[in-house]
Amino acid sequence: MSSFDVVIIGSGPGGYVSAIRCAQLGFKTAIVEKYNSLGGTCLNVGCIPSKALLSSSHHYAEIAHFADHGIEVSGDVKINLEKMIARKQAVVDQTVGGINYLMDKNKITVFNGLGSFVDATHIAVAKADGTSETIETKYAVIATGSKPSSLPFIKIDKERIITSTEALALKEVPKHLVIIGGGVIGIELGQVYLRLGAQVSVVEFMDRIIPGMDSSLSKELTKVLKKQGMKFYVSHKVKSVERNGDAVTVQAENAKGETITLEGDYSLVSVGRRPYTDGLNADKAGVKISDRGQVEVNDHLQTNVPNIYAIGDVVRGAMLAHKAEEEGTMVAEILAGQKPHIDYNLIPGVVYTWPEVAAVGQTEEQVKASGTEYKVGSFPFKALGRARASGDLDGFVKIIADAKTDEVLGVHMIGARTADLIAEAVTAMEFKASAEDISRMSHAHPTFAEAVKEAALAATDNRALHV
């Protein structure tokens, strides 16, 4: 029987990063992955492929604005969806190949098969060929991730009524894509197919899209996407989703109790994700699973069984790849006797539409509810020279600071390159920066990052210079 210091079950961003950090710290490490491809949801059917399609579709959408830049394109410009999907898969394959390389480089043993607990120190690996192998470990890390959620009355057939997984590999551009759920995943994939020519309708139970983010971001993104042609039905509760041949009918009830009917050829069910522990046999190790299906952990990500830890989507908190990575690193360092720490308030969230949406810290609604006295500074992208030069005028940066101490409590931005700009806000908040601190930092001109400086100036006695 093979024996290891640490065995990680699941090879997503949390799992493979944890494995690498364990190996760096001198642990004999193994990783168990049920699929033949490493990387989990993020690399295979999540973050990476969706961004590849967003990038490809963005290039196509940009052609409509070439004339504004003095570029004339003659003849027909056509979409080859098959090639677009193939490029997406090539990006995935290359990225997954990089993980394989990292496993070899760090001398991490990879077991392909379904990992399940025999007891707290033994894990069975059921392989695709029907054979099974049991391995022994001193410590185990559960990193089994999540799967798309659905509604009880919806039958997902993976053909016309689909999840995000199928939406990444369609063989045609939908005529009318009805999206159930206005969260990050639904909105991103909705923009992909909107750009490619589909009619896109979004049905959201809450009163706004991206409801977990600051309401100002939701309002601005809704405005921009409506301008692009996306339709929204917020405060609508889906009652039924039925398929008849190639047609899908979605019925929803609005806040007044009235029923609306949407007819499409595809419906994307994007109502969130659920922790995935199927087949793990956590009970055989004595590990507690909550009523919500999450593995219960303490502040050190340790389960009720002392030698077993859990990270990522399978535990409480935001289901984000970078959050899982931080947790994977944290567990490895705890096992090595170090004292790492994660400030969950400083885990940024991003929506990779165009304009991009990004945020870190508390929303204005949260600050207001806490009773903290605060001030807000905001700066529009349309006032930036760089934004005018590129034509990316939508959006703004908003900084919320404590009215008494000037410490930055939250940064919320929508606009070009905000997925990258948010790192400046995370860095500032990590070091307890004040709005004035940010306002006194020199920002290169002309850049989109100047909007961060100007928003900080606006939050500091309304001192913005360029608006």
pLDDT means over runs of 10, the chain (467 residues): 97 98 98 97 97 98 95 93 98 98 98 98 97 98 97 97 98 98 98 98 98 98 98 98 98 97 98 97 98 97 98 98 98 98 98 98 98 98 97 98 98 98 98 98 98 98 92
The C-alpha atoms of residue 113 and residue 30 are separated, in whole angstroms, by: 13
Is the dihedral angle over the CA atoms 145, 149, 155, 161 positive or is it negative? negative
Which residue ranges are tagged as binding site for FAD?
A: 51, 115, 144-146, 313, 319-322
| pLDDT confidence of residue 461 | 87
The C-alpha atoms of residue 126 and residue 111 are separated, in whole angstroms, by: 10
- Count CA atoms closer than 13 A to 337's CA, side-chain side: 3
The C-alpha atoms of residue 326 and residue 131 are separated, in whole angstroms, by: 34
CA neighbor of 327 nearest in space, from 2, 114, 19: 19
- Per-residue CA distances from 153 to 51, 239, 240, 257, 350 (Å): 30, 8, 7, 19, 30
Contact 240, 248 (CB under 8 A): no
Q: Are strands 176-180 and 349-351 parallel, antiparallel or unpaired?
A: unpaired
The C-alpha atoms of residue 278 and residue 239 are separated, in whole angstroms, by: 28
Q: Are strands 231-234 and 199-204 parallel, antiparallel or unpaired?
A: parallel
The C-alpha atoms of residue 359 and residue 218 are separated, in whole angstroms, by: 12
Q: Annotated catalytic, 412?
A: no
Please give the structure tokens belonging to residue 89.
Answer: 């898969």
Q: What are phi and psi of 273, to 5 degrees?
A: -135, 155
The C-alpha atoms of residue 400 and residue 377 are separated, in whole angstroms, by: 7
> Tokens 């939508």 identify what position?
394
| pLDDT confidence of residue 354 | 98
- Per-residue CA distances from 96 to 92, 99, 351, 425 (Å): 6, 5, 23, 30
| pLDDT confidence of residue 318 | 97
Beta-carbon contacts of residue 237 (< 8 Å; ≥ 6 apart): 205, 252, 253
Which residue ranges are tagged as binding site for NAD(+)?
A: 181-188, 204, 272
Chain centroid to CA 200: 21
The C-alpha atoms of residue 356 and residue 371 are separated, in whole angstroms, by: 30
Contact 72, 65 (CB under 8 A): no
CA neighbor of 241 nearest in space, from 149, 147, 148, 152: 152
- Of the listed 59, 69, 445, 466, which one is catalytic? 445
What region does 406 belong to: left with phi over 0, alpha with psi -120 to 50, or beta? left
The C-alpha atoms of residue 249 and residue 227 are separated, in whole angstroms, by: 25
Q: What are phi and psi of 257, to 5 degrees?
A: 90, 5
Q: Which domains does the chain have, with CATH numbers?
A: 2-148+274-336 (3.50.50.60), 161-271 (3.50.50.60), 349-461 (3.30.390.30)
CA neighbor of 179 nearest in space, from 211, 203, 155: 203
CA neighbor of 14 nearest in space, from 285, 213, 419, 309: 309
The C-alpha atoms of residue 137 and residue 127 are separated, in whole angstroms, by: 19
The C-alpha atoms of residue 430 and residue 422 are separated, in whole angstroms, by: 12
> Tokens 């399978």 identify what position?
314
